[in-house]
């Protein structure tokens, strides 16, 4: 995509300098005398609309366990684009689209700095770039300990969630975008390489953990753990009986018992195969289909109040889901 708004490498460097004082003021575990000198990386992975930011900000960060971690992306970073003031009057969707390349360049620079200096890192990935599969081996070499949270959503539920999120962003004047289903499906082509790389990295450093969640209508719209495993010794991932006191949810229509196990007898990545079961499952249950219709109707109602700010394709997609799921 070619944007009408330009920026230079100097603009990226200026934005990086502006952020550095507030982002990189955290202490470094790798330099601490009071803890295991092992940098850590918290990864929240899932397709667009899977609820990554909600899980991170409402469930994980409030525990207080990640206060000395740095986040490599926040929506406000887009405001550092040198022509932000010129584009903001054309609405939040316009700003999001035309700051995308800039914020990726800024994020790349922030990642390089955090990684080379062994900061504890928080990373969210929508599985939209196969580049996410390339850094885990390097992170292992630098001694990073991994904590991976993977959220699996049925893909059409994820798509509705992006549409609903986009409408809410216009209501609140927050930076966001609308995502076609084809983009979510395309990200799944990267999912295997990325999730396998994360799982393999977890087997290399004892203390690493990996958790698979399901989010959907069946879970009350919340991310609920399906399974959780820990690296107790190199090359092994051992399934745990619960995750932080939370029992695992069961999906009888799919795999009745999810688990991520790695050892000498089972030395092959297995998290993606279980993740894919949920993503590609059909919504067959009558109660779930009825709720899907209600959700799309509510989003349509709110979108109608925002015409013409909401693109016509959003109305088409929401209406198609109503027609699809209202019929048995």
User: In this predicted model, what pLDDT tens digit does every residue of 282-305 receive, in sequence order?
Assistant: 898 999 999 999 999 999 999 999
Claim to verify: residue 289 and residue 234 sit in the same structural domain: no
Whether the pLDDT of residue 3 is over 80: the answer is no
Per-residue model confidence (pLDDT) at position 38: 87
Coil vs helix vs strand at 54: helix
Question: Would you call the peptide bond into 194 cis, given omega within 30 degrees of 0 as the criterion?
Answer: no
Whether the pLDDT of residue 58 is over 70: the answer is yes
Claim to verify: residue 307 and residue 229 sit in the same structural domain: no
Find the Cα–Cα–Cα–Cα dihedral 215, 97, 56, 263, rounded to 10°: 70
111 part of a folded domain = yes
Claim to verify: residue 182 and residue 42 sit in the same structural domain: yes
Contact between 247 and 235 (Cβ < 8 Å): no
Each residue's pLDDT tens digit, 153-207: 999 999 999 999 999 999 999 888 899 999 999 998 899 999 999 999 999 999 9
4 part of a folded domain = no
62 part of a folded domain = yes
195 part of a folded domain = yes
Claim to verify: residue 297 and residue 255 sit in the same structural domain: no
Q: What is the mean pLDDT of the chain?
A: 92
Share of the chain above pLDDT 70, in %: 94
Claim to verify: residue 211 and residue 80 sit in the same structural domain: yes
Closest CA to 214 of 142, 292, 276, 289: 276
Looking from the CA of 9 toward its CB, the CA atoms found within 13 Å total 1
Whether the pLDDT of residue 277 is over 50: the answer is yes
The C-alpha angle with vertex 43 and arms to 39 and 45, in degrees rounded to 5, equals 165
Please count the structural domains in the chain.
2
Claim to verify: residue 277 and residue 137 sit in the same structural domain: yes
Claim to verify: residue 320 and residue 310 sit in the same structural domain: yes
User: Which CATH number goes with the domain that contains 114?
Assistant: 3.40.50.300
Residue 234, φ and ψ in degrees, nearest 5: -55, 140
Per-residue model confidence (pLDDT) at position 29: 58
Per-residue model confidence (pLDDT) at position 33: 41
77 part of a folded domain = yes
2 part of a folded domain = no
1 part of a folded domain = no
3 part of a folded domain = no
Give the range of the structural domain holding residue 146, as residue numbers without chain letter: 9-282
28 falls in which pLDDT band (50, 70, 90)?
A: low
The strand order across the sheet containing 145-152 reads 69-71, 120-125, 40-45, 145-152, 209-215, 223-230, 238-239
Each residue's pLDDT tens digit, 119-142: 999 999 999 888 899 999 999 999
Claim to verify: residue 40 and residue 154 sit in the same structural domain: yes
Claim to verify: residue 20 and residue 138 sit in the same structural domain: yes
As a whole number of angstroms, the distance between CA 195 and CA 311 comes to 33
Q: What is the mean pLDDT of residues 233-242?
A: 94
Per-residue model confidence (pLDDT) at position 145: 97
Claim to verify: residue 185 and residue 52 sit in the same structural domain: yes
34 falls in which pLDDT band (50, 70, 90)?
A: very low
Claim to verify: residue 148 and residue 62 sit in the same structural domain: yes
Claim to verify: residue 163 and residue 302 sit in the same structural domain: no
């Amino acid at each position: 995509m070619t944007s009408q708004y330009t920026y230079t490498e100097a603009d990226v460097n200026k934005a990086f300098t502006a952020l550095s004082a507030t982002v990189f003021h955290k202490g470094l575990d790798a330099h601490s005398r009071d803890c295991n000198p092992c940098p850590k990386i918290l990864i929240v992975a899932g397709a667009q609309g899977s609820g990554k930011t909600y899980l991170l900000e409402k469930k994980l960060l409030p525990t207080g366990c990640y206060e000395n971690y740095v986040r490599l992306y926040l929506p406000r970073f887009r405001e550092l684009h040198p022509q932000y003031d010129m584009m903001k009057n054309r609405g939040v969707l316009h700003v999001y689209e035309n700051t995308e390349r800039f914020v990726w360049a800024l994020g790349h620079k922030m990642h390089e700095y955090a990684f080379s200096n062994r900061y504890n890192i928080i990373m969210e990935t929508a599985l939209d770039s196969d580049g996410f599969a390339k850094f885990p081996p390097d992170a292992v070499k630098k001694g990073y300990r991994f904590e991976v949270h993977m959220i699996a959503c049925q893909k059409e539920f994820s798509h509705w969630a992006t549409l609903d999120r986009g409408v809410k962003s216009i209501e609140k004047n927050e930076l966001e975008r609308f995502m076609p289903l084809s983009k979510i499906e395309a990200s799944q082509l990267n999912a295997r390489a990325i999730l396998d790389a994360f799982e393999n990295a977890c087997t290399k450093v004892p203390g690493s953990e990996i958790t698979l969640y399901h989010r959907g209508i069946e879970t009350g719209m919340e991310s609920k753990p399906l399974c959780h495993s820990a690296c107790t010794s190199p090359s092994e991932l051992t399934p745990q009986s619960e995750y932080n006191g939370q029992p695992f949810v069961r999906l009888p229509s799919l795999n009745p018992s999810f688990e991520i196990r790695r050892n000498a007898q089972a030395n092959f990545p297995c998290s993606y195969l279980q993740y894919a079961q949920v993503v590609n499952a059909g919504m067959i249950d009558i109660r779930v289909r009825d709720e899907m219709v209600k959700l799309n109707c509510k989003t349509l109602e709110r979108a109608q109040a925002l015409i013409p700010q909401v693109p016509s394709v959003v109305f088409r997609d929401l209406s198609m889901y109503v027609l699809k799921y209202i019929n048995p």
